[in-house]
Structure formats: C-alpha cells, structure tokens
Structure 1
C-alpha cells in the first residue's frame, strides 16, 4: 500500500505543519465528543514537537494525553518517557492537559499489568483521536521489540497493554499493544534523519511483522498511517 510521506529539511519546519494538523484533529475530536485523546511516543525526536505544541493556544483542558509506551522506571528518572512528556509538553499553555501514566510503584512491570490495564479501561470503547509512533533502528515501535519474548503476544492480544522485557535495550517496559494502537482515528509515524529514512524503506519492502514490528502499522488499512520525516 502507498504511505503518505511528508518530508522536511528541518525539525522546525516539520513542527509547524505537523503541529497544525495535530491541533486540527484534536479540535475535530472535541467538536464531536467534547474531548480528545492523543498518544505520544518518547525519545529525542519528538522533543521539538512537544515544545512547539505546548506554546499553542488550544483547549488543552479537554485533551487527554498518554504514551505509546514507557520504561519501567521512576517518573523522575531521565530515561522515563513520562518525565520527558511532562517536562517538554505538559508545560506553558498545555499545562491543563490531562495525563494518564502507564507506570506504578510495583518493582516489576509483570506484577502491574492488570493494574495498568484497568487504568485504561474507561478508554477501551473509544478510538484515540491521534496516535504518533516512533521507530527504532531495529524496526520496533512503542515497546513492541523484535527481540522480546512478548512480541507475538503484543501483536495478537486483545488487551490494551503488555509488559515487555527487550533483550537489546535496557529496562522492563510497558507498551500499548498493536490492537489498542490501531484503535485510532488518525495514526502517524514521526522520524528524523537519513538513517531512519533507510529503516523505513526497508520496513516498507516486506510485511514480516516479526522481523520489524513497525510493519504491523505500515501494512494495514484499519488506520492508514501518515509519515512525517525531517532530515535534520
């Protein structure tokens, strides 16, 4: 299938265009339902987008934010995606947005799976308005890793969340599943740099989800994906 790709020279240019599209889609959700939900991914790539959005005048009090995944860490840890979002997005004009955490104080994610699943239960019947995924060099997305023993379950389970222990990356993880992420009105892939463009090219060339889990979202028609890529 053909993927709509939007390419920009700089992250600043991307943020202007992508940010406007995100706000338009959230506004549409609010107009239809009185509120809207957006799913962000972590990592360094979305930081400029977070900071751009946080400065925009919007009905942020009607927006619920959650993450596609998080590392099973204290929310004060520098590698916590929750810490990233709260530091760079839920600030300034976006400080009134609601946030649903994917972590708890339990020592292991595998002891907390039911707790986190229950936390998202009230959202189960409603599609996310916007889902923004990232992509690793190995083709993982969210914390659906090709190296983890939880891969097949993450791709097939009807649950919303799953605990993951990757073998090629640090920390236990909590991740939204394929089925829950695809229950979305609009889905995007946000990547940066020439190396990620090559990874995307490779991902589009085959449909083997076990090799590159991002393919589970690129090669499907339920919620067609749009790519936003910047060179720098």
Structure 2
C-alpha cells in the first residue's frame, strides 16, 4: 500500500482523474479493450466530472461498478444512476457499461447471467474503490452474510451481500476479482476514515474487509 495525501478533496479529484486517464491511455495502447471499475457513493462523483471529459478512445472502455444495491437503475439509491449521470456523459458516453443489476426479486436468480459479460471483460484494468468508517469496501461489510464467500480464494465473480446495517441487498465483486486488477486505487476522505484505514492494516479481512485489497493499492486521502 502507498498513501498519497492531498490538501483538499478538489485536488484529490483532479489528480486521481488525471492518473486514471494516464493509466487508461496506457492500457488502451496495450489492449483492444480495457475494464474500468468504479465505486458508487458521493465520494467519487467530483472525480467522475473530470474523468468524463478526458480525450481517449472511450469506445474501447468497459465501465463497471465494484458493487451495487439491488434496486432498479432509476432508484435514488442506485449506484448505476450516479455513474450514468456523472461518468457516462461527455466523451465517456461512448464507453460500454456492464451492469450488476437485472430485473429480479433476488440477485441469486440472475447472477449467472450478469457474470457472463463481466467474465469476458476480466481482468480489471483499473480498479477504484471507496471505504467506509466501518472498514468496508465495495459491499464487503464486516459480519455480513456473504462476506466469507466474497473473501474465499475460489470466490465467484459476484457475491450477494446481506447485512442488517444496510437497507438493500447488495451485489459485490469478490475480493479475488478485485485483487486481479492491474492497478488499484482507494479514495478516502476525512479523519475518521484515515483512522479506520490505520486500524484495518492491523486486522484481518473478516473484521476489516478493506484489508483484503490493500496490497499494491494506491490510497488517496484528503481531510
């Protein structure tokens, strides 16, 4: 893990967007298609606003979330809604989006179908993640039903996650798939999350799921 500190979140968003643009350009020089995986939530939105205007061949970029709430794309809590409104616009509108949600009451009924398109696009070229103050990343929450499956060495691509601490059923990439990324970035803000990161480095992934993906990860922090 390497930690980069920024004076404020605006500088973090601009620097990370520029870093991702350079990595995407380099990956496109090597590969016919590349896979960019991003988090939901409010933290990455300003970075999306910068990245979507970068001049590169977005038609050869696949975009996917690291995790998703099991709600329709138009739902106010949908991570997909945010990505479509803030990242898949401007030049980045030409990118292909790989969904983690399909119309079904429970994810187990359609996960196999969703995994087919994702498996064809793997490995992840560039992975961007967030982290909560509880040390979760993607939808890998401490104590959640599905966490053990998501942390297993032979984990599937997608894992349903259920937790009493969150409102919706989640679908998350497994740690195995996330750690297969060529480049990994973690975005965190605030003193509480910085302290949580420090705690996570001394704990196992069962107690601090973010610890499962910290090896070789570039952590970007702003107060």
With normalisation by structure 1, the TM-score equals: 0.92
Residue in 2 that maps onto 1:150: 146
Q: Does 1:137 align with 2:129?
A: no
Residue in 2 that maps onto 1:213: 209
Q: Does 1:110 align with 2:97?
A: no
Q: Does 1:27 align with 2:19?
A: no
1:57-113: per-residue Cα shift (whole Å, max 9, x none)? 222111110000000001001110100100111011211111101100011112222
Q: Distance in 1 between matches of 2:14 and 2:80?
A: 24
Secondary structure class of the residue paired with 2:94 = coil
Secondary structure class of the residue paired with 2:83 = helix
**8 Å Cα contact 1:207-1:215 kept in structure 2:** yes
Secondary structure class of the residue paired with 2:120 = helix
**8 Å Cα contact 2:17-2:48 kept in structure 1:** no
Q: 1:188 aligns with which of 185, 190, 204?
A: 185
Secondary structure class of the residue paired with 1:174 = strand
With normalisation by structure 2, the TM-score equals: 0.95
Q: Distance in 1 between matches of 2:175 and 2:56?
A: 30
Paired residues in the alignment total 222
Residue in 1 that maps onto 2:170: 173
Which residues of structure 1 form unaligned runs of 5+?
none
Residue in 2 that maps onto 1:84: 82
Q: Distance in 2 between matches of 1:65 and 1:132?
A: 11
Q: Does 1:226 align with 2:218?
A: yes
Q: 2:72 aligns with which of 57, 74, 78?
A: 74
Residue in 2 that maps onto 1:161: 158
Which residues of structure 2 form unaligned runs of 5+?
none
Q: Distance in 2 between matches of 1:148 and 1:119?
A: 26
